[in-house]
Amino acid sequence: MVEEEPREEGAAPDLGYAVPMEHAALFNKHVGAEIALWRRVLDMGQDEFAAMVGIERSRLSKIENGKLAARMDEFLAVAALVDTNVVDLLQPAYHRYHGQISTKSGPALPGA
């Protein structure tokens, strides 16, 4: 079993290839916007939504603003709260991110 290196809070996971920091930051921004959109669809404030996801309001605010990357457990909690799965939750953010990056500098991710 491979032991995972510790990483800073909010750092993107190791995907086996280098992702430029500006790409990770842009993707985090799109993911955060998607989470904020779902929160507003549910007509919830940050305090209520954060409590239901199981995180502090300040962490939710940083995720929504793209300053922190959400962890997988947080994605799962948000997906359960909005009655969807993680793939469907992240798909709009991925497509916005990929379209924005690929139109500027070619495909952003290997195989894209």
More confident residue, 104 or 45: 45
Report whether pLDDT(110) > 70: no
Instruction: Give 51-60's long-range contacts (Cβ < 8 A, gap of 24+).
Output: 52/77, 52/81, 53/77, 53/78, 53/81, 60/35
**What would the pLDDT profile of 54-89 be if each residue is shown by its tens digit?**
999 999 999 999 999 999 999 899 999 988 888 887
The domain segmentation of the chain, as residue ranges, is 39-103
CATH of 39-103, one of 1.10.1370.10, 1.10.260.40, 3.40.30.10, 1.20.120.80: 1.10.260.40
Helices (H), the chain: 21-41, 46-53, 57-64, 72-81, 86-105
When pLDDT is cut at 50, 70 and 90, the band that residue 32 belongs to is: very high
pLDDT for res 96? 59
